[in-house]
Amino acid sequence: MSDQDLVVETVRDILTGFEPFVLTAERRWDPGLWSALAEAGLTGVGLPEESGGSGGELADAVAIVRTLAAGAGAVPVAEQLLVAGPAVVAADLDLPPVDEPLTFALGPAVTAHASDDGDGPGRFTLSGTVTDVAWGGVARHLVVLAAGAAGPVLGLVDVSGIQATSASNLAGEPRGSLVLDDVPASGALLTSAQVEGLKARYALARSVQLAAALEQVLAWTVQYAGERQQFGRPLGKFQAIQMELAEMAGEVTAVTALTDAAVQSLEHGDPGFPLAAAAAKVRAGAAVEVVARLAHQVHGAIGFTQEHKLHHLTRRLWSWRDEAGSDLAWSRVLAAGLLADGPDGVWPALTRIV
């Protein structure tokens, strides 16, 4: 068994105690699941021990995020392990305790002012409204990409005292806004390449979640088609259903292959990583349309109800594909990157990205 297999087993064991549920304004996340993961040290995996993390590789963190996504775990682990945590460590800021949820948001309307509060450099005050904050109101700390006078600033703020609006995505996951009003923050200036890398990490985090959820939806649908009997035989014996399931499998296989390659690109520190992440996000987003549609079609009316589990993942799929940058935004980034050396450079770029 590889290290990742062990991690996956551990997360699966924990998940058996926490069934997915319908997220509401009253029950916005799964604090019990978070505590169980934190107690097992899983909310610090991939973050170095000297920074307060649990150590381990990116591949371990990815395995945890995949397993939680497939299990519809309502916890901000993807944001913490794959985006916000690594960004804080890379910027040499103090990582908040890893048992406290940390999230990430783009803050195009947030400005960062360098402040001299006596604690030396790296202190800022942040002002402005951050919209679409994943797990806003749940996360204790927020890493936000803000605009500073000298360029982009990565700001780390304690948002535990700030009320988030109640907006949510199609799956009910909190995606509210936070108003920052001269909030003190630690922070660091980022280069434009670092900004691109961070946005790409966010997209990759969602792609990893999408890939895992797509695989799980396929598995559920294949299982259902094998069990559900109509006209005296299982649905899966009908060629029309087999064609649909095979089409789903093609989409899922394509997404997995490209997402894995983008993860490897990040692991290797490839310069092409932002384009690899862009491609993975676009491909995963495209697969959602096919896989969610056909999964619901095969499940029939029961899959259209809250009592059946299918919606826990299909509603997340429909949400995640437009988060961390939409298909449209990332497809343009990808194409512009491919054209950077002119049209004759497109093919060489395609063979270089992943």
Q: Please report, as ranges, the residues that interact with other proteins according to CB under 8 A.
A: 215, 218-219, 222, 225-226, 236-237, 239, 241-243, 245-247, 249-258, 260-261, 264, 276, 278-280, 282-283, 286, 327-328, 330-336, 338-339, 342-343, 346-348, 350-351, 353-354
Q: Quick one: 159 or 276, whose CB is closer to other proteins?
A: 276
**141-148 and 151-158 beta bridge pairing:** antiparallel
Contacts with 162 (C-beta within 8 Å, 6 or more apart), sequence order = 178, 179, 180, 183
Give CA–CA dist 253/248, Å, rounded: 9
Q: Quick one: 181 or 267, whose CB is closer to other proteins?
A: 267
Closest separation between CB of residue 142 and other proteins, Å? 30
Q: Quick one: 30 or 251, whose CB is closer to other proteins?
A: 251
Question: What DSSP assignment string belongs to 69-126?
Answer: HHTT--STHHIIIIIIHHHHHHTTPPPPPTTS-EEEEEEEEEEEEE--SSS-SSEEEE
Long-range CB pairs of 216-220 (<8 Å, 24+ gap) are 216/69, 216/70, 216/71, 216/313, 217/248, 217/291, 217/292, 217/295, 217/310, 217/313, 217/314, 217/317, 218/245, 218/248, 218/249, 218/252, 218/291, 218/295, 220/295, 220/309, 220/310, 220/313
Closest separation between CB of residue 327 and other proteins, Å? 7
Closest separation between CB of residue 309 and other proteins, Å? 18
Closest separation between CB of residue 11 and other proteins, Å? 18
Nearest to 131 by CA among 161, 167, 88: 167
Closest separation between CB of residue 152 and other proteins, Å? 24
Q: Quick one: 191 or 242, whose CB is closer to other proteins?
A: 242
Q: Quick one: 141 or 201, whose CB is closer to other proteins?
A: 201
Closest separation between CB of residue 173 and other proteins, Å? 25
Give CA–CA dist 29/22, Å, rounded: 10
Q: Quick one: 43 or 314, whose CB is closer to other proteins?
A: 314
Helix, strand, coil % (nearest 5) of the chain?
Answer: 55, 15, 30
Closest separation between CB of residue 320 and other proteins, Å? 16
Supply 262's token pair: 């983008």
Q: Quick one: 24 or 239, whose CB is closer to other proteins?
A: 239
Closest separation between CB of residue 136 and other proteins, Å? 29
Q: Quick one: 65 or 188, whose CB is closer to other proteins?
A: 65
